[in-house]
Amino acid sequence: MDLNTETLIDVTALKPLLGQTDLLLVDCRFDLMQPDAGRQAFEQLHLAGAVYADVNQDLSDQSLTGLGRHPLPTPAHFAETLSRLGFRPEQAVVVYDQGNGAYAARLWWMLRWIGHRQVAVLNGGFQAAQKAGLPMTSGAVSVVPSQVLDLRGTTSSVLDYLALDQARQDPSWLLIDARGAERYRGDVEPIDPVAGHIPGAINRPFTQNLDSEQRFLPPAELRMQFQTLLGARSAEQVVHQCGSGITACHNLLAMTHAGLVGSKLFAPSWSGWISDPSRPISRGD
């Protein structure tokens, strides 16, 4: 199946694809403060044919330490998750969450990380699908596992601690923090034990990618906004981070949708950075 997109799909384009065997529909609804809420919402009501991927358990590997609140799984660990979801490499994948794409973007990025390009986020998410009257069903879903694949992640798309520390001090690179401004400044910190931001990072909250209906802004508008931040830099000189490597993927998706392809992810993000108290931190603007 060809989605005719590698970034976003709207409900009108998704509707005729529903029910086809070469489409995998994945529900990524989640709530950082209530980790079970997403799965409960899925079992209450979800798009017909969808399977559920949990941000904590499926899109992270909590056995890894020192890598933030949502440690990026190894490709082998991710392969096991994809098997449980019933994923086959010939399938196109559409992912959605409650609306704004904050969690769906993580799975979108992970699939691209292992080289799968036929993947898109449903623009407007579950909220838009429900409003459009797409078919829904309820209850838990039993999935027949697929073959476990031998996956390799694209190492050029992620930065480790050493590379991040070098990049943040190099003016030819741009480190973008996707958290809200009050968390970036360190005014409040509702989740992590230390407030502030990585020195050298600038702030662009991921919510700036969205319109009033929680849909992504048009590509031309996103391109103009990000190009203003980049200046003379290329997209390949941009690193995204947030609190734990989730909403950073939203900014990465927005840039890609705008035609600015090749930016990187620092997956441990702020929660990983502060796991070593010797690392410097900044507060304020």
Q: What sign has the CA pseudo-torsion 250, 255, 261, 266? A: negative
| pLDDT band of 254, cuts 50, 70, 90 | very high
CA neighbor of 29 nearest in space, from 108, 96, 106: 96
| pLDDT band of 77, cuts 50, 70, 90 | very high
**Domain 155-273, what architecture?**
3-Layer(aba) Sandwich (3.40)
- Nearest 5°: the CA angle 85, 60, 168 is 135
Residues assigned a catalytic role: 242
| 8-137 and 155-273 have identical folds | yes
147 burial level (CB within 10 Å; 0-12, 13-18, 19+):
exposed
Cβ 2 vs Cβ 92: under 8 Å: yes
Cβ 157 vs Cβ 132: under 8 Å: no
Cβ 229 vs Cβ 235: under 8 Å: no
CA neighbor of 204 nearest in space, from 188, 220, 187, 227: 227
Predicted local confidence at residue 4, as pLDDT: 87
pLDDT tens per residue across span 143-159: 999 999 999 989 899 99
Predicted local confidence at residue 177, as pLDDT: 98
Q: Where are the domains of the chain?
A: 8-137, 155-273
Contacts of 139 (CB under 8 A, 6+ apart): 43
Give mean pLDDT, residues 228-247: 98
Query: First CA to last CA across the chain, in angstroms?
Result: 46
8-137: CATH topology: Oxidized Rhodanese; domain 1 (3.40.250)
Give mean pLDDT, residues 117-140: 97
- Phi/psi of residue 239, nearest 5 degrees: -120, 135
Contacts of 77 (CB under 8 A, 6+ apart): 61
